Amino acid sequence: MPAHSGGRSAGGRPGEPACQDGRVTGPQTPNDTAPDAGRGFATTGSAYYPVLVAVFTGLVLISNVTATKGVAFGPVIGDWSIITDGAFIVFPLTYVIGDVLSEVYGFRAARKAIFVAFAMQAVASLAMWIAAELPPADFYPNQAAFEAVVKPFFQLVIAGLAGFIVGQTVNAWIVVRIKAITKERHLWARLIGSTVLGEFADTLVFCSIAAAAIGISTLDDFLTYLALGWIYKTVVEVLVLPVTYRVIGFVKRREPTYRPAV
């Protein structure tokens, strides 16, 4: 649900900040001195922030594993097929969580989550590469199949790391910049605007590196892969906008340090 401005609660002391639902948040904490604090953002020392970061990181890791499979639907029209990869199942949800982090906690907190997910992708890539290089046991019959998944994963993680850091940073920055202008109004505008530009930056960087790993070799297939990936991810986030609204509203109402932008 869209955020609404919260004033001082009934009976609250003058000068005390109030949450979205009118509850008094209490005295400022040391974290409130951060640049984002006091301008429509909550601090990160709550139960909700680490949970969101964990979900965000998990979705990113799942996406990079499923992205090792190239997917084609069709032919749809003539010889033209819809070309994508397996990450289309859950990857758009990373932008939903990224929007929640940016909208509620601000750019620095969202960037911290991006760096955590970035680091865990790097650890996963290294661990899988080492596992693929270790000598297989005599009783293990699937070394070739394991390598077929893991070795493209290493290249896809490089693509994912590059695209992810660029796209999510653009996404978070735009959410915060638009919020500085619109305050608590027009949440839909910052969510959709950040998605269109953030997803484009992510998809362009990712597809440019990942195409060869999943077997895309022609310019036509690459352009289809790029365009459909961008359009699909953007459309998914628009369709789940009501869910994003409700998650953001839920977290804002329950974050004791959240103060609406005014």
**pLDDT, tens digit, 9 for 90 and up, residues 220-230:** 888 888 887 78
Q: Is residue 68 part of a domain?
A: yes
Residue 23 domain flag: no
**Is residue 76 in a domain?**
yes
pTM of the model: 0.66
Residue 163 clears pLDDT 50, i.e. is over it = yes
Domain count, the chain: 1
Range of the domain at 199: 60-98+115-250
Q: Is residue 154 domain-resident? A: yes
Alpha helices for the chain (secondary structure H): 48-66, 92-105, 107-133, 143-182, 187-210, 219-239, 241-254
Which tops the pLDDT comparison, 198 or 8? 198
Amino acid at 15: G
Residue 153 lies in a domain: yes
Could you tell me if residue 172 is inside a domain?
A: yes
* pLDDT at position 98 over 60: yes
Q: What is the pLDDT of residue 54?
A: 94
Q: What would you measure as the largest C-alpha separation in the chain, in angstroms? A: 74
Mean pLDDT value of segment 23-35: 40
Residue 15 lies in a domain: no
pLDDT of residue 225: 80
